[in-house]
Structure 1
Amino acid sequence: MKQLLCIVLLSLLIVSGNHKVEAAGFTDVTEEHFAYEAVVWAEEYDIIDGYADGTFKPNATITEQQFAKLLANYYELESPYDELKKQTAGANWSDEYYNRLASYGVPLNGYFHNNIRASAVKRGVVAQAITHLAEGKRGLNESIQFLLDSYISTGQNEQYENRDLRKFFGVTNNMTRAQVVTLLHRMDSRNFYTISDDAQNIHDNASNTSLNTRAMNGQYQLDKTLQQVVPSKSAWEGTYTYYYKWGKGANEFNRRDAVISNATSKTFDISLTANDGQQFGSVDGTATITSSTKAVMNKSANGNRCVLEFEQLKNALKIIEVDCSAEHDEGTNFSGTLKKQ
């Protein structure tokens, strides 16, 4: 009898409570919140986790690195064999997710800089990143239209509907954590969980393109109005690229990419990739600055002989390879003039 009474009293307490039923594990997501079902779903499938204090902070502005984690988890993206070589030194909790996204060429800004990762992600970037994985490579307008047509997202400024697609969507507006989880929940309910052929082909990497190059390609895919660059403290630091398409075939091109980071008054770290159609090579190392515009690297980070001469030009970097045969395929070299991005 006493046990029955306890059960009845407990039932009354539950029914007569203030109805603030919490999503499992989160004290700040109740049934009344618009994203309640989406948050419960995302937690159940290990797409999200919360903060140490037991909150999810659904209304907080989401950063690019937080979005990167949600997107990588939603699609269960595979990890690549190598890792990104960043401009900012030191490990970051989001490295794992950016490595995975880079492997699929996803359009994002923060691949090489921790400060960009920690900044708010814009709606336009979210649109292009999601569309790349769900539908394939698309420009900004096509990405927005895909989200609208698929009922994954809506516009934010009704006065621009059928007049200005970008203003209607609000491409430069920030998003909250709850809003992004809601987008992913809608994608799941509409069966958008298969990776596009474009993204899968980039990950399969038949051309043996380096992870850094795939990340840079993802950056360049972003609409120019959304690309974000952090000013460097050194004139040497930055990302440099050369690309020349000399034929119509898929492998008839030449490409050079260089990322210079951790520059001091005496040295800088250099990451280079070269791709001449079927031939591919990469090298990492540290160069010694010999004058205001020149530097030289004598060996790679692997300890192999690799002599590279660097000359800083106006918004460009000239590279001359003397001997790096131990670091790349025969028929490929790192020589060339690369434009600063």
Structure 2
Amino acid sequence: MRKIVCALLLSIFVMTSGYTVQAAGFKDVPEDHYAYEAIIWAEKYDIVNGYADGTFKPNATITEQQLAKLLANFYELESPFDELKKQTPAAIWSDEYYNRLASYGVPLNGYLDNNIRAASVKRGVVAQAITHLAHGKSGLDQSIQFLIHYYISTGQNPQYENRNLQKFFGVTNNMTRAQVVTMLHRMDERNFYEISEDAQAIHENTSNASLNTRAKNGQNQLDKTMQLTTPSKSAWEGTYSYYYKWGKGATDFNRRDAHITNATSKSFNIFITANDGTAAGNVDGIATITSSTKAVMNKSSNGNRCVLEFERLNNAIKITEVDCRAEHDEGTNFSGTLKKQ
């Protein structure tokens, strides 16, 4: 039924609007993009949305909390009566999606920690999360086999086919927004949009387990190699934000958000978003710590040149962009002093 409605909507839309590339509302997704049809489909069903500047950023690395939103929307998961009690108590936009996913015991890492939520999600985690909802509780290898058997994924490293399943699939690699949407589109085409009996039973919760217990069970279901521990108490780690509303218009604002995770004595992961009303961008990468209060990143995880200098202040972080034009639109950058949340 879902596919029939989708086809009708698409045909009506094309016949009446006359638009082509802008039909999906994303100016950076041309008709010849491999995920064009999947992205149109996902937008039509409110499974995914883009950025304020009209882009989708299909090649941007997807974070776990972005994945959480896609899964909750695709499966139309119900909200539980209670909420997760997090280790990082600050309320953020992904809370509602993680509450819903916890209710179904979905294998994810970031239920209790905002910093883990903001980190890039690995392909192995995506495989287990999707398979849990579509097919039932499954280990990492079983999840990969499910996705490959139904041609939801074709793997990433053909040199390992029939030799090493996990390397063939690329379990430790990151995924892009377009890749995940394509997977969900294929799930829909193959009628895997019904919730598995395992996930539904966890949601019905006849044992009256708390939401936190169901979340932790989901975390523990992940393969040991895919589990992330709570980040160390590094002085660098945390969520940093800046917001300034300078006018009454809907686009009259400046916002910066930075999430630092997996900090060691030598480096840390950094994910930053910047939005100046009509221009936006994000960058994901690894910064090298050069002193007790300073660090630098030279390129993004996409391989683009992006030089960011970091200075750790008292409950804040100063970010100076040198050259990240390949990572965001004209009119915005990642520079600014952000307060630790």
TM-score when normalising by structure 1? 0.62
CA distance in 2, matches of 1:137, 1:20: 41
Distance 2:130 2:233 in 1: 33
Listed one character per residue, the Cα deviations across residues 246-270 of structure 1 (whole Å, up to 9, x for unaligned) are xxxxxxxxxxxxxxxxxxxxxxxxx
Take 1:164 and 1:198, find their aligned partners in 2: how far apart are those partners? 28
**Matches for 1:98-117 after TM superposition, within 5 Å:** 98-117=98-117
Which residue does the alignment assign to 1:213?
213
1:7-54: per-residue Cα shift (whole Å, max 9, x none)?
Answer: xxxxxxx99xxx972342211111011100000000000100111111
Match of 2:261 in 1: none
Query: 1: distance between equivalents of 2:30 and 2:127?
Result: 27
Aligned to 2:319: none
Distance 2:23 2:84 in 1: 36
Tell me, in whole angstroms, the C-alpha distance in 1 between the residues paired with 2:21 and 2:101: 35
Q: Deviations over 1:108-137 (max 9, x none)?
A: 000000010000000000000000000000
Percent identity, aligned pairs only, is 78
Contact 1:22 1:31 in 2 (8 A): no
- What is the letter of the counterpart of residue 70 of structure 1? L
What is the RMSD of the two structures over their aligned residues, measured on CA atoms?
A: 1.6
Secondary structure of the corresponding residue to residue 22 of structure 1: helix
What SS does the aligned partner of 2:225 have?
A: coil
Q: Which runs of 4+ in 1 moved over 2 A?
A: 19-24, 230-234
Q: Which amino acid aligns with 1:109?
A: N
Q: CA deviation at 1:231?
A: 3.1
SS of 1:225's partner is: helix
Is 2:186 aligned against 1:186?
yes
State the alpha-carbon separation in 2 of the partners of residues 85 and 26 from structure 1: 36
Alignment map for 1:251-266 (pairs within 5 Å) = none
What is residue 52 of structure 1 aligned with on the other side?
52
Mapped contact 1:104–1:214 kept (Cα < 8 A): yes
Confirm whether residue 29 of structure 1 aligns to residue 29 of structure 2.
Answer: yes
Q: Output the CA distance in 1 between the equivalents of 2:198 and 2:21.
A: 42
1:214 alignment partner, SS class: helix
Amino acid at match of 2:42: A
Q: Give distance in 2, aligned partners of 1:129 and 1:159.
A: 26
Q: Partners of 1:155 and 1:185 in 2: how far apart?
A: 16
2:32 counterpart letter in structure 1: E
Distance 1:154 1:184 in 2: 14
Q: Does residue 164 in structure 1 map to residue 178 in structure 2?
A: no
Distance 2:115 2:23 in 1: 32
How many residues are paired up?
Answer: 218
**2:58 matches 1:62:** no
Which residue is 2:229 aligned to?
A: 229
- SS at 2:86 equivalent: coil
Q: The residue matched to 2:21 in structure 1 has which SS?
A: coil
Q: Match of 1:133?
A: 133
Could you give the per-residue CA deviations for residues 216-264 of structure 1, whole angstroms, max 9, x where no partner exists? 0000000000001133439xxxxxxxxxxxxxxxxxxxxxxxxxxxxxx
> For the residues of structure 2 that align with 1:23 and 1:168, how far apart are their CA atoms?
35
Match of 1:78 in 2: 78
Alpha-carbon separation, structure 1, partners of 2:32 and 2:50: 19
State the AA in 1 paired with 2:135: E
Alignment of 1:179-328 (within 5 A): 179-233=179-233
Q: Which residue of structure 2 lines up, in the alignment, with residue 173 of structure 1?
A: 173
Classify the secondary structure of the residue corresponding to 2:151: coil
Contact 1:26/1:54, CA 8 A, preserved across alignment? yes
* Structure-2 residue corresponding to 1:249: none
* 8 A Cα contact 2:24 2:39, kept in partner: no
SS in 1 for 2:224: coil
- Work out the CA distance in 1 between the residues paired with 2:167 and 2:23: 34
> Does the CA contact (< 8 Å) of 1:105 and 1:218 recur in 2?
yes
Q: Secondary structure at the match of 1:179?
A: helix
> Aligned partners of 1:225, 1:40: CA distance in 2, in Å?
34
Q: Which amino acid aligns with 2:92?
A: N
Q: Distance in 2 between matches of 1:203 and 1:217?
A: 13
Q: Secondary structure at the match of 2:24?
A: coil
